[in-house]
Structures are given as structure tokens and as C-alpha cells.
Amino acid sequence: MLDTEILLTIKLQQQLFVDPKRITLLKEIRACGSINQAAKNAKVSYKSAWDHLEAMNAISPKPLLERNTGGKNGGGTVLTSYAERLLQLYDLLAQTQEKAFHILQDESIPLNSLLTATAKFSLQSSARNQFFGQVSQLTENDVLCYVEIAIANFSQNLTACITTQSAKRLNLVLGKEVMLMVKAPWIQIHRQNPETINSFPAVISDFYDKGEYQEITLNIGEGECYATAIKTHPFTLQEKVWVSIDPEQIVLVTL
């Protein structure tokens, strides 16, 4: 496991806004309510702390600190709600940077796609089937929109059916990158061509018997998908079958 340290710096108006030292200082102020004590905890001089705070406030869109008068200790300095959100954002960005660096070790993850990389290190879903592709056609039919998507390594395009409002909300246009999610039980396996939309030939490459069900891995072109089936008529290894997916059981995700 690599011991990495990624230091995040944010600039505003081409000037330093926050860096790890300034974030530490803000967190110490939040913890103790005193600039003087925060400077000691952050191991910087009081003057240096003031210089950092003044530099941040000079370019900050909103105030970062406010004086809290009164109280049994005579008041102190507290962070504004904007400063609190800044700390939360900084922590989120730091976590994202760390995860982004970790995907460098996995050569199966392409780094030329923001959606693919984001999904791999951020999204967690119970849907085992997650495909990535580009919108190749949009067809509106009253309140529904049929979205045809070209998927790399698949023998043919897949079509998803969503509402026209959802298509607008996702800002779907030709060429836009999307992720399709399909739960394994929604993948239907047939021994004959059902001749329906989203039906294509496949080969069973692996399966696992589990009670009354089979968990099945299928090769589709050079791609792969997962399905579950009742063992009433069990499937066998390397059996050639047909697979179908209801367009309304495809969930689309995009950035």
C-alpha cells in the first residue's frame, strides 16, 4: 500500500485562498474559539495566524470569522457558516483526490472518462450490471423518451426508456456519456430469440447454484453481464442463449 500525501491548495483571483496550514488554523479556531490559542495549537505565531486570516478574508466571497461577544468566558472568535462549509468542502475534495490517486493502480479503469473514473471510485450500487456508453439516439414519445446507447464491447446498442422530464434533467444529448445500471434479476435469459427490444445472443461463461436459483455470468460480444434465474430448467456452462432487458428497467446515471 502506497503511503501518499496529496496537499490541496485552492486559489481565488490568482491568490492563495486556502492550503493545509490555513485549513488547520480554521479548524483550531472552530475547536477552541480563540485565535491566540488556535495559533498555538497550529504551531504558528499569533502574527502569522492574523496574516493568514486577513489574506483569506480579503479575497473570500463571504466573511470567514465573526466575533462572539458575551458568555462566561467573555466571548471569542467563531467560524461563520460559510467557513464551516469551506472546511467540509475541503475535506470532500481531499478525500476525492486520495481516491482518484488510488485508481492509478488499477489499469482496468480508463482515465480518459470522468464518469467512468468517478463511478469506479465513488459510486456504490447493488446493481451488479454497470455499463458505460454514449447516447447515440433520442426518441421522444409523449411523456417517454427512448435513449439508445452505444456500449463498447457490446454486440449492439441498448435502449433505455425514461420520462422526457428525466431526459431533460440529465441534459441528455447525442454523444453524452452515461452509465447504465441493471440489477441481475432484471436480465432475462431465453433459449430462443424473444425478438424484443434489447434482445441479443450470449454465452453462459460461469454460473453458481444457490438454492432454487442460479447466478449466471454471460458473455455478450466482448462484454459481460450478470443474471439470476430459477433452476426449473437449469442452464449449463457454455450454453448459447438469448438475453433481453426491459428498457424501463434500465437506470441511467450521468454527471
Q: How sure is the predictor about 73, in pLDDT bands with cuts at 50, 70 and 90?
A: very low
With respect to residue 4, please indicate whether it lies within any of the assigned structural domains: no
With respect to residue 74, please indicate whether it lies within any of the assigned structural domains: yes
Same domain (yes/no): 74, 134: no
With respect to residue 5, please indicate whether it lies within any of the assigned structural domains: no
Q: Are 208 and 156 contacting, i.e. CB atoms less than 8 angstroms apart? A: no
Q: If 0-12 CB within 10 Å is exposed, 13-18 middle and 19+ buried, where does residue 160 land? A: buried
Provide the number of structural domains found in the chain.
2
Question: What are the DSSP E strand ranges found in the chain?
Answer: 10-12, 15-18, 65-68, 76-79, 129-141, 144-151, 158-163, 177-182, 187-190, 199-210, 213-220, 223-230, 240-245, 251-253
Same domain (yes/no): 123, 232: yes
For residue 56, give the CATH number of its domain. Answer: 1.10.10.10
With respect to residue 109, please indicate whether it lies within any of the assigned structural domains: no
Q: How far is CA 129 from the centre of its chain?
A: 16
- Tell me the average pLDDT across 40-46: 95
Same domain (yes/no): 98, 122: no
Same domain (yes/no): 88, 118: no
Q: How sure is the predictor about 255, in pLDDT bands with cuts at 50, 70 and 90?
A: confident
| Per-residue confidence (pLDDT) for residue 69, from 0 to 100 | 67
- What's the whole-number average pLDDT of the chain? 87
Domain end residue (candidates: 38, 69, 103): 103
With respect to residue 2, please indicate whether it lies within any of the assigned structural domains: no
With respect to residue 249, please indicate whether it lies within any of the assigned structural domains: yes
Domain end residue (candidates: 76, 103, 130): 103
How many H helices and E strands in the chain?
6, 14
Q: How sure is the predictor about 8, in pLDDT bands with cuts at 50, 70 and 90?
A: confident
With respect to residue 64, please indicate whether it lies within any of the assigned structural domains: yes
- Domain encompassing residue 60: 10-103
Domain end residue (candidates: 103, 125, 158): 103
Same domain (yes/no): 28, 152: no
| Per-residue confidence (pLDDT) for residue 124, from 0 to 100 | 62
Q: How sure is the predictor about 92, in pLDDT bands with cuts at 50, 70 and 90?
A: confident
* Residue bearing cell 434479476: 185
3-state SS assignment for residue 27: helix
- Tell me the average pLDDT across 22-39: 95
The region that residue 221 occupies, defined by phi over 0 for left and psi between -120 and 50 for alpha, beta otherwise, is left
Q: Distance (Å, rounded) from C-alpha 114 to C-alpha 144?
A: 28
Per residue in 149-162, pLDDT (tens digit) is 999 878 789 999 99
* Single-letter amino acid code for the residue at 176: K
Per residue in 171-184, pLDDT (tens digit) is 999 999 999 999 99
Q: Is the pLDDT of residue 203 over 90?
A: yes
Same domain (yes/no): 82, 170: no
Q: Is the pLDDT of residue 244 over 80?
A: yes
Q: Is the pLDDT of residue 248 over 50?
A: yes
With respect to residue 245, please indicate whether it lies within any of the assigned structural domains: yes
For residue 233, give the CATH number of its domain. Answer: 2.40.50.100
- Tell me the average pLDDT across 202-213: 90
Per residue in 181-200, pLDDT (tens digit) is 999 999 999 999 999 999 99
- Tell me the average pLDDT across 108-133: 72
Same domain (yes/no): 125, 162: yes
Same domain (yes/no): 119, 95: no
Same domain (yes/no): 91, 175: no
Same domain (yes/no): 71, 39: yes
